[in-house]
Structure 1
Amino acid sequence: MSTITFNEKQVSRGITIISILIPVVVAILFGVRLPNVEPLSLLPPIYAGINGLTAVLLVVAVWAIKNGNRQLHQRLMTTCIALSLVFLVMYVAYHMTSDSTTYGGEGWLRYLYYFILISHILLSIAIIPLVLHTYARAYLKNYERHRKLARITFPVWLYVAVTGVIVYLMISPYYSV
Structure 2
Amino acid sequence: MTEEEKKYKGIIWVLSIVIPLAVAALFGVNLRKLGYDVEPLSFLPPIYATINGLTAVFLVAAVYFIKRGNAKLHENLIKLCMACSSLFLLMYVAYHMTSDSTPYGGEGVIRYVYFFILISHIILSVIIIPFVLFTFVRGIAGAYERHKKLARITYPMWLYVAVTGVIVYLMISPYYNH
Percent of counterpart pairs with the same letter?
Answer: 66
Count of residues paired in the alignment: 173
2:11 is the alignment partner of 1:14:
yes
SS at match of 1:7: helix
Match runs of 1:27-66 below 5 Å: 27-34=24-31, 35-66=36-67
- The alpha-carbon deviation at position 6 of structure 1 amounts to 4.5
Q: Which residue of 2 aligns with 1:138?
A: 139
- The alpha-carbon deviation at position 13 of structure 1 amounts to 1.1
TM-score by length of 1: 0.96
Match runs of 1:1-177 below 5 Å: 6-34=3-31, 35-177=36-178
SS at match of 2:41: coil
- For 2:161 and 2:21, locate their aligned partners in 1 and report how far apart those are by CA, in whole Å: 19
- RMSD, aligned CA: 1.0
Instruction: Note the residue ranges of structure 2 that are not aligned, 5 or more in a row.
Output: none
SS at match of 2:13: helix
For residues 25-47 of structure 1, what are the alpha-carbon distances to aligned partners after superposition, in whole Å with 9 as ceiling and x for unaligned? 11111122222101000000000
- The alpha-carbon deviation at position 8 of structure 1 amounts to 1.9
SS at match of 1:113: helix
For residues 34-77 of structure 1, what are the alpha-carbon distances to aligned partners after superposition, in whole Å with 9 as ceiling and x for unaligned? 22101000000000000000000000000000000000000000
- For 1:67 and 1:8, locate their aligned partners in 2 and report how far apart those are by CA, in whole Å: 26
For residues 85-140 of structure 1, what are the alpha-carbon distances to aligned partners after superposition, in whole Å with 9 as ceiling and x for unaligned? 00000000000000100000000000000000000000000111000000000111
- For 2:110 and 2:64, locate their aligned partners in 1 and report how far apart those are by CA, in whole Å: 34
Amino acid at match of 2:28: G
SS at match of 1:169: helix
Instruction: Note the residue ranges of structure 1 that are not aligned, 5 or more in a row.
Output: none
- For 1:46 and 1:143, locate their aligned partners in 2 and report how far apart those are by CA, in whole Å: 34
Amino acid at match of 2:68: N
TM-score by length of 2: 0.95
- For 2:6 and 2:70, locate their aligned partners in 1 and report how far apart those are by CA, in whole Å: 28
Contact 2:4 2:137 (C-alpha < 8 Å) held by counterparts: no
